[in-house]
Structure 1
Amino acid sequence: KVLAEAAESADLVVTTGGIGHGAYDVVKELLGPRGTGTSRFTHLALRPGGPQGAGHLAGGTPVVHLPGTPVGALVGYHLFVRQLLPGGAAMPRAVPLEDPAALVARSRRREGLVVLAGRFATTTRGAESVQLLPGRRLAPYGRADALVLGGAAAGTADQGRALVLAL
């Protein structure tokens, strides 16, 4: 009933959770190929936030499905949903890292893209840089003003820079 109402009145519907491989992943069942929607689901080479999906509700309203973990949903929102909203588009840009070795160490054994919490800083010479915030749970993202993109898919840490998405 809630989704039917959303399909009539919303420009975009965003769901969180229920899209993985577990017994309680009901969104996938409800809106996937065997359900009432056109949603497709995949697991991206992305940490955190690998499970993602998108499609349309009955009537054509677009729907984006984000993971159920808080950090995965936050990352998915900023990488995929925010870009769809008026004034929300932001492109990652290369920014010098305060500690390039930290990004390499924290994303070394990960395939694809690793997204970490960061904060913009100013060097003693007045140049912009970014520092990684410690921790992998939700708290660092609450203090973050940037998402730092690392891992094999980002490929810039070895040059002392990281792709950064401002929040």
Structure 2
Amino acid sequence: MKDKFAFQQQCLFSLCFENSSTPGYLTEKLIQAAAAQTIPIYWGDTHLQGNIESSGGGVNTKAPVYAHNFHNTQSLIEYIRHIDTNDEAKLNMLKEPLFLDAGHKAYFDKTLQTFLLSIMEQPYEKSFRRGRACLRLFEEQRYKNYMRVLGIFKKAKQHLAALKSYKFI
């Protein structure tokens, strides 16, 4: 798909299933679905449910449909059908903000700005994240690999020459 976001914007619901249901494991799926103004059907981080909401920050558990809230797939499907056929339920879910804390945008903007400025404003010599020592080790390893491959080619060329002298080729 060339443009996932444009596709999602055409849908009322977005399936947002993480690769695992692990506390603290939250990827872009939920955020992208909410940004496309769809109702996310979310399965994944069980820590989002209740704990963060009661702490006054984080993800609003009223914005997505949490698959973990349902005892089986059939009851989840029935709830989705209810939302799909009930305009008031649809509007209520779509009006819910994904994040509970009002300052999240300013926080993310400031964090991103600080991160990017720290990269762009530092001297070139200090911009290597792994440091010069790691860069040198990387270059040495690359050279060793090159020499190993070169040695394989030389041996193959010698074997080919030997085979030609026996008139096999």
Fold match (TM-score > 0.5): no
Which is richer in helix? 2
Radius of gyration: which is bigger? 2
Q: What's the TM-score once normalised by structure 2's chain length?
A: 0.25
Q: Larger relative contact order (C-alpha < 8 A, sep ≥ 6)?
A: 1
Which is richer in strand? 1
Q: What's the TM-score once normalised by structure 1's chain length?
A: 0.25
